């Protein structure tokens, strides 16, 4: 039985995949996205250890709320760092008729990750930017890795939501939105493109942890910008 290191849980989440979902936030991340709203998940040794059975018990208690669309989402942190554990959890979920969703940056491709994807119904792929240089500078990861991951999702026919945080001066241009739409259109697995407004509710977490928040002076993104970009990509 695998042991997983977990940061926290959310019983009835509605923004992390289809329907109502039980969300597991894994502990540990090797990236440092400038807009990260969960810096408490970065430390590989933080959080608490749980067995897959302990998590399944929690999930089963919420099962009646999932309806036809909902289920379990594993987020983080970066779930791919604990791929074996998440694979076992998802396998048990599938055996119980619970749908599975993975919220990831797509930063690792190996056999354990491929095995995990076999039990994954939906992937929320956090696609940070459409500019390779800006991508690397923003989170420390090569855009090519995200592209390779997206290609793998396409090959495996896994429903994918392509997600991007819209940040002033970084991802709020028309050009970026058009490119994102082109990337989405070029992959059959992408069922939805989600533009998420940058918010600063996480600033207090950074302060508490004593970590500088790189975007503390960046304005939050107004809904009107998100609407403008959606209008652009859906009328393209």
| Positions that interact with ligand SF4 (CB under 6 A) | 29, 31-33, 36, 38, 41, 76-78, 105, 139
At 159, list the tokens: 């429903």
Q: How far is the CB of 104 from ligand SF4 (least distance, A)?
A: 8
Question: Helix, strand or coil for residue 133?
Answer: helix
Looking at beta carbons only, is 56 or 80 nearer to ligand SF4?
80
Shortest spacing between CB 53 and ligand SF4, in angstroms: 26
Nearer to ligand SF4 by C-beta: 90 or 198? 198
Of the pair 124, 180, the CB lying nearest ligand SF4 is at 124
Express the helix, strand and coil content of the chain in percent, nearest 5 each.
40, 20, 40
Minimum Å gap between C-beta 160 and ligand SF4 is 16
Nearest Cα neighbor of 100 from 17, 156, 161 is: 17
Minimum distance, C-beta of residue 32 to ligand SF4, in the bound complex (Å)? 5
What CA–CA distance (Å, rounded) separates 76 from 24?
Answer: 7
How far from the centroid of its chain's Cα atoms is residue 159's Cα?
A: 14
d(CA 67, CA 20): 7
Given the complex with ligand SF4, which of 66 and 135 has the nearer CB atom?
A: 135
């Amino acid at each position: 039985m695998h042991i997983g290191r977990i940061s926290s849980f959310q019983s009835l989440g509605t923004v992390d995949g289809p329907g109502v979902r039980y969300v597991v936030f894994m502990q540990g991340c090797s990236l440092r996205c400038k807009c990260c709203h969960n810096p408490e998940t970065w430390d590989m040794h933080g959080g608490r250890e749980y067995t897959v059975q302990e998590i399944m018990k929690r999930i089963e208690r919420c099962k009646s709320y999932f309806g036809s669309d909902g289920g379990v989402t594993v987020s983080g942190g970066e779930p791919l760092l604990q791929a074996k554990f998440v694979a076992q959890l998802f396998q048990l979920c599938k055996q119980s008729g619970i749908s599975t969703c993975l919220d990831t940056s797509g930063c690792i491709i190996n056999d354990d990750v491929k095995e995990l994807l076999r039990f994954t119904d939906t992937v929320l792929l956090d696609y940070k930017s459409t500019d390779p240089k800006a991508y690397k500078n923003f989170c420390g990861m090569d855009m090519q890795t995200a592209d390779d991951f997206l290609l793998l999702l396409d090959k495996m026919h896994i429903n994918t939501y392509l997600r991007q945080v819209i940040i002033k001066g970084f991802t709020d241009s028309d050009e970026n939105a058009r490119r994102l739409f082109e990337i989405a259109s070029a992959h059959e697995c992408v069922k939805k493109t989600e533009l998420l407004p940058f918010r600063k509710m996480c600033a207090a977490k950074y302060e508490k942890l004593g970590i500088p928040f790189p975007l503390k002076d960046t304005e939050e993104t107004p809904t009107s910008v998100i609407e403008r970009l959606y209008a652009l990509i859906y009328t393209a």
